[in-house]
Structure 1
Amino acid sequence: MGIEYKKSLAVLTEFVGVEEAENLLEWLLKNPKGKINLASCVHIHAANLQVLMAVKPTISAWPADENLQHWLSVLKK
């Protein structure tokens, strides 16, 4: 699974596919103060990126991969 949900943190790990976008949106709506950890993420499907852009959660950790960091820079506040 590409997302591990904890009480107030969603950890996006390795490859986060399109099938996880709906669950991510539901979790963020139920946890409006929830944070996102992208440290282990190496690929995120555009559907998940759209969820993050729409909800604008706090990002607690950015990906180690510089290219992915660049593409996710639209999430920086």
Structure 2
Amino acid sequence: MTIRRRDEGIVVLEGVCGVEDAEALLQMLQATPGADVDWTQCRQLHTAVLQVIMASGNAPPGPCGDVWVQQWLAPKLPQKGTAG
């Protein structure tokens, strides 16, 4: 599975996160309000998954493993604790 929740409540994205992972991510974030998303091990991130992350209201801490997302999109995401 490309999306899982660690014991401390952090949602982890790994490998290739396709469109089918967007709903699973949404459900995990709804079940764990305020959870951080660790995307450092994500090699490829579908835009639907990115939209769920954006809707959560804050950028994941740490760099995205998807180089394109890290270079072009991650800097545009609101940071945790700041107004967008």
TM-score by length of 2: 0.75
Change (3 A) 1:29 1:44: same
- Kept in 1, the 8 Å contact 2:58–2:78? The answer is no
- Kindly indicate which of the two structures has a greater share of residues assigned to strand: 1
C-alpha distance in 2, partners of 1:18/1:64?
17
SS at match of 1:43: strand
Q: Which runs of 5+ in 2 are unaligned?
A: 80-84
Runs of 4+ in 1 over 4 A off after TM superposition: none
- Kindly indicate which of the two structures has a greater share of residues assigned to helix: 1
Pairwise CA RMSD = 1.8
| 1:72 aligned residue (71, 74, 77) | 74
Structure 1 counterpart of 2:82: none
Which of 1 and 2 has higher RCO (CA within 8 Å, sep 6+)?
Answer: 1
Matches of residues 42-57 of structure 1 in structure 2 within 5 Å? 42-57=43-58
Matches of residues 1-77 of structure 1 in structure 2 within 5 Å? 1-7=1-7, 8-57=9-58, 59-64=60-65, 66-70=67-71, 71-77=73-79
* Number of residue pairs the alignment of both structures matches: 77
Q: Supply the AA of the counterpart residue of 1:43.
A: Q
TM-score by length of 1: 0.81
Matched residues, percent identical?
Answer: 31
Report deviation, 1:64. 4.6
- Kept in 2, the 8 Å contact 1:17–1:44? The answer is yes
